[in-house]
Structure 1
Amino acid sequence: MIPQSFIQDLLARVDIVDVVGHYVPLKRAGANHVACCPFHAEKTPSFTVSASKQFYHCFGCGAHGSAISFLMEHAGLSFVDAVRELAGRAGMSVPVESSPARTDGADSAGLLDTMRRAAEYYRKALKDSERAIGYLKGRGLSGEIAARFGIGYAPPGWHNLDAIFSGEDAGMLRRCGLVIESAEGRLYDRFRDRVMFPILDARSNPIAFGGRVIDEGEPKYMNSPETPLFEKRRELYGLPQARAAIRQADSVIVVEGYMDVVALAQHGVANVVATLGTATTGEHVQKLFRQAHRIVFCFDGDEAGRRAAWRALEASLEELTDDSAAGFVFLPPEHDPDSFVRALGAEAFRSLAAAPTALTGLLLRELRGRNDLAAAEGRSRLLAEAKPLVLRIRAPMLRSQLVRSLSELAGLAPAEVSDLFGLKALARAARPAPAARQRASLSRRLLRIILQKPEWSAGIPVELLSADEPEAALLRAIASAFDRGELPAGRLDTVVERFRDTPHEAVLDAACRSSATEPIDEGSLETVFGDAIDQLRRQCLSRDIAALSAKGRTGGLNGEERSRLAELLARKQELAASREA
């Protein structure tokens, strides 16, 4: 875990204008910088970067965040990798705890260098192999595409890497998965006589390889084992090469093989990635939804393809939002994406991918096919199988639509299905009472002000805020962080990063979006803040008066309580008089 103090120091050392400007051509517009948004296709700039707040926001698609958020969204980096990237630019060393799955910075650099040199060796070996070149040409691939994907060749032989890494630490080769240790303790090359497909991380570093046999042989495809650099469940083949096309289309197509990605790219379908010999995971889906609002999974039309599609569906449920979508395309039995595009062309494939079966459509079709809906038992089983899937969907509008469709299949009213799934109780628990909604409106207004002037949180009488309201809880947390010296004045980015991965993150995200689209005029900000504080005091005063008055009507007040009520009423009159004056 990276210490919060380091995150704050890092953000103080970097300028978001420089970070974003490295990837996006920014133009100055008053106090801010603007550009066409890198996260969605547009012709008129709606993407703004604020140097004073160290924050970016797109008025078109709503993307927003700090310098760390930008690298996570734009480059598809994890939080830790984004911090490392920024720290490297700032000349800082990241104090992160080590774990078995990852390496420290120095060790990681050594492994990456080993993989880079191996990839370069395989690329050079391809140029010297007419047989391997002939195989790629026979698959319809050009030299340009081979270079774009860094395709290489591992020649026959058991010890080719010895010549490249002679006299060096053989343990590094073993840790990278490039060699295998025999029972006798001898090392030999893992990849032999195979076309090599480098698997790149988000920074385009080779971290693993996939090898495809040229002639007949098993296994047809061989992947690197998992290493300190490479975890199959996290990585996707072709993502660095496809990122620009994915953003342009706001859509990504997921296939199952390296050759599928490369063949489609050869035919101009560039927004394509592949899983790495493993089922689609939630981490894959999360990474892809950072790149686009729409994912299209493309599978073979056989039984294995349909099982893989169902696993991808389950992995997608928790990552869906009401403005994102996942769909599924099934190819004819005689084709995979490679053979399909070579036989029928790019337009035929694009047409197929443009009209996928929606995730909810596939879910309903599969559940309907498993159960006899003519029988009460079948309809009951349908709902029993659907319930855990529906409860995993966090997108409220999508979930409501799915409940309505299930109710039609089960012959029940949507309200009955919601009740059976426990959704009504969840909704009731989340719905605030009218008085609470009024207080929430005031807290939201205060929160919007604080996001423009975070240091003003010290002036909020937090003891008067609601005890059970998320916006109020966030205001108290911000004020407490300032009181402890954990946040600097005047910067929104540090507030965002301070509360990343905390229970406050969702509320803060929504408030940032609202604050960016409906900012309060700087000239009147102090007056609006003062009015909000006065309103908060009046609300609390009225609430306390109402509580004591109600007690007086029912059970009577003791002397101390009567004095308190008189004091509160006098205070209310004073506030009213000051407002009139």
Structure 2
Amino acid sequence: LGTATTEDHLSRLFRLVSRVVFCFDGDRAGRQAASRALETALPQMIDGREARFLFLSDGDDPDSLVRREGSEAFQDRVTCAMPLSEFLFEQAAQGRDLNTVEGRERFATQVLEALNKVPEGMLKSLLLESLAKRSGLAQSQLQALLDRRTADAAAKALPQWGPVEEPAAEMVPEQALPRSAARGRRQGARLQTLSTVSRIVQLLLHEPRLVASLPESLDWLPENSEEAPLCRALIELLRAGRYRSPQVVLAHFQGSHEGQVLAELAQRELLIPKGAREAELSGLVEHLVEKQRKRSPQEEYDALLALERSGQKLDKAQRQRLASLMMELIQRI
């Protein structure tokens, strides 16, 4: 990988492999490029992923090295490449005297800034433990400092909602608007008011542990909801394990339309107190269950038919239900 590597590139790569090795020249320009790659890689480092850094001698590139030493020798170099953790600490220590209080302070500060970008998980905990040993600071102190940085970053990321007042005389019926303007008005309205399914997605994104409180079956998800596929995918992902924080979930979906929707939901302030979120989630699911129960056979049939006609493939249970509803409606005629 080279200097033009982006988060989107890495996200795509990590969907295919769990280990990525960056290869750079060993000169100053190569080191600077490696530093930029490190910054790009940090948000992608969920548990189970690995990144390493390989630096070549001046005048060498992978092709010339393989020609001179052979592919096996180059593979050995790749295997012994510097782990991301070591490169991170090496970069932070560069030009600083770690025998002084001031040097250790700057070292610890730079590493904490990097850790603030790493998703929650085992890797982040181990990096924090290693930082404590290298800096001489207590791990609890470093954790408190890191939590404060995370809270500050989250507060800055929250959108600033303010009342928007428009004179009544300027209000125009949607029918009189051009299509693009009407669509923009509808999109703006959706940003202000979340659907029931979107509220469930937002709760699960902020509190992934709440997935354990959901019913085993997902029959309560409305088939005709635009957000239902994303909600279903998120629930299945959380049930698979390892995804314990919003950052990790966002990293998984990064670069996709679903990732954009989740990022917008993550930026919206969740006003529900932490202790009331599980009850809120249960209430939303119960509302959808009751709504499904009250739906007439015709409405259910129309919803499934519309889903099929939209191009979405129905699963076996949905196809059987569609056939059953069709027979029920024919018998009523």
Give the Cα separation in 1 of the matches to 2:93 and 2:225. 54
The 1:415/1:302 distance shift into structure 2, 3 A limit, reads same
> Which residue of the partner structure matches residue 14 of structure 2?
289
SS at match of 2:17: coil
SS at match of 1:328: strand
> Which residue of the partner structure matches residue 331 of structure 1?
56
> Which residue among 444, 459, 463 is the counterpart of 2:212?
444
SS at match of 1:321: coil
The 1:486/1:340 distance shift into structure 2, 3 A limit, reads same
The 1:445/1:352 distance shift into structure 2, 3 A limit, reads same
Deviation at 1:325, TM superposition (A): 0.5
Alignment of structure 1 residues 417-566 onto 2, 5 Å: 417-422=142-147, 444=212, 446-447=214-215, 449-450=216-217, 454-455=218-219, 457=220, 478=221, 481-482=222-223, 485-486=224-225, 495=228, 497-499=229-231, 505=234, 507-511=235-239
> Is the contact between residue 294 and residue 324 of structure 1 (CA under 8 Å) also seen in structure 2?
yes
After TM superposition, the score normalised by the length of structure 1 is: 0.30
Give the Cα separation in 2 of the matches to 1:386 and 1:443. 33
SS at match of 1:421: helix
Give the Cα separation in 1 of the matches to 2:144 and 2:123. 17
> Which residue among 285, 304, 318 is the counterpart of 2:43?
318
Equivalent position amino acid for 2:14 in 1: F
Q: CA RMSD in A?
A: 3.2
> Residue by residue, what CA displacement relative to the aligned partner does 1:253-302 show, whole Å, maximum 9, x if unpaired?
x2x4xxxxxxxxxxxxxxxxxxxxx5321111111111100000111111
| Larger fraction in helix | 2
> Is the contact between residue 418 and residue 424 of structure 1 (CA under 8 Å) also seen in structure 2?
no
> Is the contact between residue 297 and residue 326 of structure 1 (CA under 8 Å) also seen in structure 2?
yes
Give the Cα separation in 2 of the matches to 1:442 and 1:386. 31
> Which residue of the partner structure matches residue 24 of structure 2?
299
> Which residue of the partner structure matches residue 310 of structure 2?
none
Deviation at 1:374, TM superposition (A): 1.1
> Which residue of the partner structure matches residue 216 of structure 1?
none
Equivalent position amino acid for 1:319 in 2: Q
Deviation at 1:442, TM superposition (A): 9.1
SS at match of 2:52: strand
Deviation at 1:350, TM superposition (A): 0.5
Give the Cα separation in 1 of the matches to 2:114 and 2:76. 30
SS at match of 2:5: coil
Give the Cα separation in 2 of the matches to 1:294 and 1:310. 18
Alignment of structure 1 residues 268-417 onto 2, 5 Å: 278-417=3-142
Deviation at 1:486, TM superposition (A): 2.4
SS at match of 1:371: coil
Give the Cα separation in 1 of the matches to 2:86 and 2:61. 23
The 1:442/1:291 distance shift into structure 2, 3 A limit, reads closer
Larger Rg: 1
Give the paired residue count. Answer: 190
Following TM superposition, the consecutive aligned residue runs of length 4 or more in structure 1 with deviations greater than 3 angstroms are 423-426, 440-443
Equivalent position amino acid for 2:225 in 1: E
Alignment of structure 1 residues 125-164 onto 2, 5 Å: none
> Is the contact between residue 116 and residue 150 of structure 2 (CA under 8 Å) also seen in structure 1?
no
SS at match of 2:46: coil
> Is the contact between residue 309 and residue 328 of structure 1 (CA under 8 Å) also seen in structure 2?
yes
Deviation at 1:303, TM superposition (A): 1.0
> Is the contact between residue 116 and residue 149 of structure 2 (CA under 8 Å) also seen in structure 1?
no
Kindly indicate whether structure 1 or structure 2 has the higher relative contact order, using CA contacts under 8 Å at least 6 residues apart: 2
After TM superposition, the score normalised by the length of structure 2 is: 0.51
